[in-house]
Amino acid sequence: MDGLPSSLTYHFWDGGPDFPADPANCGFYVVPYMKGAAVSVRPLEHMTRLRVVQTLTAGIDHVSPAIPRLPAGTRLCNARGVHDASTAELALALTLASLRHIPEFVRAQETGNWHPGMYEALADKSVLIVGYGAIGSAVEDRLLPFEVAEVTRVARSARTTPRGSVHPLASLPGLLPHADVVILCTPLTEDTRGLVGADFLGRMKDGSLLVNVARGGVVDTKALLAELESGRLLAALDVTDPEPLPEDHPLWRAPNTLITPHVGGPTSAFLPRAKKLLRAQLRRWAAGEELEHTVAVAE
């Protein structure tokens, strides 16, 4: 990478078994991308002089368990903004593909079968976005040109935005029965783990679509399977629990289900945005300035 502060010394670690330098001398740790939780936290116990942990993901669930063991004052920063465009694109693609039965047409093409008919459109649908942060807002940006009837926003706490109100999580029971499409963008926290369980799913209207571009653990897989196998709901999932999804898992064969292998973030849009973030954060750190996107501080 060019454009980095010359006052710092850099070492590249790709998550391999050997470290390129003594981790004890590391002050600013950029977590290797897409290497899994075990690799992500492995050097942390040796980083006794650590001041910053910078993830390249919006979610921090793969490193958050290590926060209590970090040196006091160490900042954990996420990659807010890096994945907004890519993840929102996929959320829209999954929604359209599921509603318009694109997987069915792909399978029909392989056998030369013609399947005309009447199918659902995104236009005039009511969409509920659960997790209205940067990614949730980017999803709404892409929904509006498709002439949806309504976008309802839900986040951890209520607030007002230029586009309208954001409802708290506690409002979900009253909002779910009115949504044609529910898009999950929320981070995985203790409050959201298993949020989409039997009660949540049971309140969704018949024939509605659940789209998950958040984390697999937000959804109770057993409860979702029950709804899918009954034929009452549809699902489009970029993330699952467990993940990777074993080849013999019943979710692969559930009716009205579209699955992609956690590809919301890793696209051609990732690298330039990740580099921009790291340049900005390292310049601030080298200059003794406040970092952006701090989500936790070790005590």
Known catalytic residues? Answer: 215, 243, 262
Token pair, residue 293, equals: 């996107």
Q: Tokens for 97?
A: 């593909």
Pairing, β 294-297 against β 75-77 = antiparallel
Integer Cα distance of 173 and 81 in angstroms: 30
Q: How far apart are CA 175 and CA 159, in angstroms?
A: 16
Angstrom distance (rounded) from CA 285 to CA 291: 7
How many Cβ atoms from other residues are within 10 Å of residue 34's Cβ?
14
Q: Which two tokens stand for residue 271?
A: 């690298």
- For 22, the token pair is 């003594």
- Give Cα 97 distance to the centre of its chain: 19
Q: Give all strands (DSSP E) within the chain, no chain letters.
A: 28-30, 52-54, 75-77, 126-130, 150-155, 159-161, 164-168, 181-184, 209-212, 234-237, 257-259, 294-297
CA dihedral angle for residue 171, residue 175, residue 176, residue 177, rounded to 10 degrees: 140
Give the HSE-up count for residue 95: Cα atoms under 13 Å, Cβ half-sphere: 29
